[in-house]
């Protein structure tokens, strides 16, 4: 899933499905890549329960810069 903020790509999310080794992660949304304020610090994994939760996080990160 691609998330845009002000027509600029801010994040790429991946939906974790049955192929995930850790079954507790199944169904979550993982921040595959973030850009600008949405870039994740090295060594961290950001997970979200729903696409709307991921989108809200992106919008929050983008608004921090304003």
Residue 6 confidence (pLDDT): 86
> How high is the pLDDT of residue 18?
67
pLDDT digits 0-9 by tens, 1-51: 999 988 999 999 999 886 666 777 888 999 999 999 999 888 888 999 999
Say if residue 16 is exposed, middle or buried (CB neighbours under 10 Å; 0-12, 13-18, 19+).
Answer: middle
Bridge partners (DSSP) of residue 66 are none
């Amino acid at each position: 899933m691609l998330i845009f903020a002000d027509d600029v790509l801010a994040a790429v999310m991946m939906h974790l499905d049955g192929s995930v080794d850790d079954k507790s992660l199944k169904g979550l949304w993982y921040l595959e890549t973030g850009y600008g304020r949405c870039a994740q610090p090295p060594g961290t994994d950001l997970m979200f329960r729903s696409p709307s939760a991921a989108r809200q996080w992106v919008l929050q990160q983008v608004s921090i810069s304003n």
